[in-house]
Amino acid sequence: MISPENSLLLLIDLQERLMPAIRRADQIIANTRRLVLGANELGVRVAATEQYPQGLGPTVAAITEVFSEDVRPLPKKSFSCLGCPEFSDRIDGEHYQNILLCGVETHVCVLQTALDFLEREKTVFLPTDALGSRFLTDHETALRRLEQAGAVLTTTETTLFEWCRTADNPAFKTISRLVKERTDAPI
């Protein structure tokens, strides 16, 4: 299970000019926002990247407005976040076993970042409702490939409750409220 003590929540390229082209963009943004709020409440480290921000703009405001003061998205040109020396250097000194990836596009930057983390023997968790691509086939194929490579598919709600572990956790009321903010339709 995912524990808050050794987890890194990494937000990949959730940028203003890119998101309008992404399928289910509103849901991805809402779920990522909920994960950031839960991470803030439970002490989970959050990091973010922006792919070529000069062209694709900054991270969407709905997400940056809930960042803690220490979160500043790092610009990158490499598709894998670990191909960005500043990002790689920043996290190399930190000991996270569980890497939770949110963002876009699933079949490009998320895929390459996840594969690089798996190569470093990290456990990669992918909340599928906080990931996206422009085309469904790219998104679904990338998820299948990543699962076969050893990544763990999960959801936003599952992650929040795993981080919380118990209703006795002081953060439980906040986590419960975040879960109730879910935007997709129930079965």
76 is catalytic: yes
Can you tell me which residue has the tokens 């963009």? 25
The shares of helix, strand and coil residues in the chain, as percent rounded to the nearest 5, are: 50, 20, 30
- Cβ burial of 152 (10 Å; 0-12, 13-18, 19+) is middle
Q: Find residue 153's DSSP bridge partners.
A: 126
Provide the token pair at 74.
Answer: 């790092």
From the candidates 81, 109, 116, 164, which is the catalytic residue? 109
From the candidates 76, 81, 84, 164, which is the catalytic residue? 76
Provide the token pair at 8.
Answer: 């890194």
From the candidates 13, 102, 122, 129, which is the catalytic residue? 13
Residues designated catalytic: 13, 76, 109
